[in-house]
Structure 1
């Protein structure tokens, strides 16, 4: 069979004096033809069998439920379609060389969007996918695979977490229910501890952060606290700073864990978790982060430090570190309004709860310029009403210690000896 591209006579250009023009044709090389459609391939792709097809034709074949290579009849090991760029360029060159036969050049195909990227390609796609309950379906699938065996089903669970990562933070109540199951929590923690892939760790910690951000986080805190090694892995993520995204998410997860106290059981879990983090040296690590970090990291670190100052053991660790007050004062007005509120709140807790042996913290606060900054907070009307109340109370606490003290700039604490 001879396959060719015949040039047709059109308009007034064809005359009886040129009869051979009617028979002129460009023969298409056989390896340019799709084995399925027998047409010139526009987007050649190669399957695992080694045979090349036009993408549209092989997509139709696979979507019909076929699992074999149409030419060899072999069962395909996978359904990956590798673009054959060399063959596509050869086809384009051939089209250009034969354009006088009326052959149009095959355009360079657009890179197809993978299923996992549909939602990430546009907000419209993402909204459509979420509105149809995709997040809850994927969360339910993750729960099922994790319940069966997270280690055996690790590959598919990784793909599910990857798909869920671009749906954040639009999880619905049903998705939270499935991700909050004991099996799902164990699965996410397993990835945090065992996976060597940084992207998998990131997807797991982001899903965990989103789960604990919901209004009903207390029951999840109780379940998570019972999983061995979770405190250690979160602490390592914060200390090692292997990725800004992972560190920020870990700080937020720790914040949710230690600040959950609306029920008696959650309060006990929260106290247990706080003690574990304090014994590992979290206060020192947070202060080290605060000395030189960007805005997002500072806000999260200050939030955790403020929460740790809610109870005596946390305050004792803060009192014992020479950097605590200078760093907290420095962050007022230096980062953001949220950072200012966290800093004032932590200083207020440390000063208000200081015993007679710890009254030096008030003197230290004055020496690094706290009084002036607090006055400025009231003057510029920074923060909410709660922050203003704490600021006013702090001024009253500090005022009796002002006589005879020389106030210095809060930036001048480079030579203070660190406790770590």
Structure 2
């Protein structure tokens, strides 16, 4: 991709004077000034009776569609889209050289209107190879510049989702190559303007799958200590969006990264409460009820349920949902040793430690006792075997059970 391919200028009269974004539905007020319909409507709905650009009192709040300008914007947009698609096609796509990337970084620093295309070139360069990512990470000032774009949402181009998507994708690619990880984590979570988390949330809400995954990886990277975890979860909407990413109908990579990030930030007590309050237990239960997911997804879902089981409200939701207990039992065997340990720990917590009758009944109904017996005869860890033995003590008290004469210290299943 040549230097000229990275640049485009947005005509100033295509921008809404309020949002500064390219107008989608331009309309003109009686003052003759044109705005994007959604922006001026919000202005008027807020009770204002003046023209935002001229501050003249409006004789009428009616506005008229500017069809000529709308057609011009559509022609320009189609032209730009075609240019980008042509540049991104396998036949036409090329990676900029290092000197071109250095020029593109200077463009970013100068805050020119070419920033979107300069950033696209940098991203293309970073995606090409590990060596390129290391080169970018060692470029003095680039990483702080990218973080600064997330933090300083100035209402211009850096406000657009398209620009923020490219920022988070480029930043994620060089994160682990950056020299000072701790400073970088501090910048992201405790940024000067406080907008980094807001920008990452905006990408989670409106970005593509790839950019959402990049945003999640940045959040996970920044969740380095308890304070950071609390700040991330404290940003209204982040946990909600992460949970939305983990619904069973989503892309598997999206689910896996969403779960992984939730695991990373879920340890503080307040964060656990938010997860449970937002319906994580039911959602994780539905996810586990399906057998199509990878080992990693299953392990992370069980880990989150284990975290939920350490709270009273979490145990209550697990126990009141027999499908949840049954889904956990499905994963006791034949997934992985990690999944087994998480699943057994949850069952031990609700059935043995807190003696919940509903959970015990759900285990019995789902043929859980047989699975517990089989697990004890497997090559499980001493901790898992002890929890299984504790669970069997609970169910042996039932005289009708075939386990009434089973001794937990035996090494072979002889229930009769």
* TM-score, normalised with respect to structure 2: 0.60
User: Quick check: 1:258–1:308 contact (8 Å CA) kept in 2?
Assistant: no
Shift of 1:256: 2.8
- Name which of 206, 231, 241 aligns with 1:233: 241
1:405 aligns with 2:412: no
> Residue in 1 aligned with 2:185?
176
Is 1:381 the equivalent of 2:385? no
1:287-339 per-position Cα deviation (integer Å, ceiling 9, x unaligned):
11111131232222111111111111111111111212221111112322221
By how many angstroms is 1:344 displaced? 0.6
Unaligned regions of 5+ residues in structure 1, if any? 1-42, 50-54, 67-74, 82-112, 261-266, 408-420
Query: Residue 299 of structure 1 aligns with which residue?
Result: 299
Retained in 1: the 8 A contact 2:146–2:171?
A: no
Matches within 5 A, 1:230-309: 230-239=238-247, 241-260=249-268, 267=269, 269-270=270-271, 274-292=272-290, 293-295=292-294, 296-309=296-309
* CA contact 1:287–1:327 (8 Å) conserved in 2: yes
Query: Which of 356, 362, 365 is residue 363 of structure 2 equivalent to?
Result: 365
Tell me by how many angstroms 1:257 deviates.
2.9
1:146 lines up with 2:150 in the alignment: yes
For residues 328-376 of structure 1, the C-alpha deviation after alignment (integer angstroms, 9 at most, x for no partner) is 1111123222211111111111112435xx3242243244333333333
Match of 2:389 in 1: 392
Number of matched pairs: 299
Matched residue, 1:10: none
Partner of 1:348: 348
* 389-398 or 279-288, larger mean C-alpha shift: 389-398
- SS of equivalent residue, structure 2 residue 401: coil
- Cα distance in 1 for partners of 2:304, 2:204 equals 20
Give 2:209's match in structure 1, choosing from 180, 193, 198. Answer: 198
Distance in 1 of aligned mates of 2:304 and 2:209: 24
Distance 1:393 1:257 in 2: 31
Q: Distance in 2 between matches of 1:235 and 1:366?
A: 30
The structure having more radius of gyration, on CA atoms, is: 1
Match of 1:160 among 164, 167, 170: 167
Q: Which residue does the alignment assign to 2:333?
A: 333
Q: TM-score, normalised by structure 1?
A: 0.60
Equivalent residue, structure 1, for 2:15? none
- The whole-number CA distance in structure 2 between the counterparts of 1:192 and 1:299 is 23
Counterpart in 1 of 2:220?
209
Aligned pair in 2 of structure 1 residues 362, 159: CA closer, same or farther (>3 Å)?
Answer: same
Q: Distance in 1 between matches of 2:317 and 2:329?
A: 17
In the other structure, the counterpart of 2:40 is: none
Matched residues in 2 for 1:206 and 1:61: separation?
29
Are the structure 2 counterparts of residues 241 and 221 from structure 1 closer, same or farther at C-alpha, using a change threshold of 3 Å?
Answer: farther
**Distance in 2 between the 1:174 and 1:258 partners?**
23
Once the 2 structures are TM-superposed, how far is the Cα of residue 114 of structure 1 from its aligned partner?
5.4
Give the conservation status (yes or no) of the 8 Å contact 2:305–2:346.
Answer: yes
Alpha-carbon separation, structure 1, partners of 2:170 and 2:267: 29
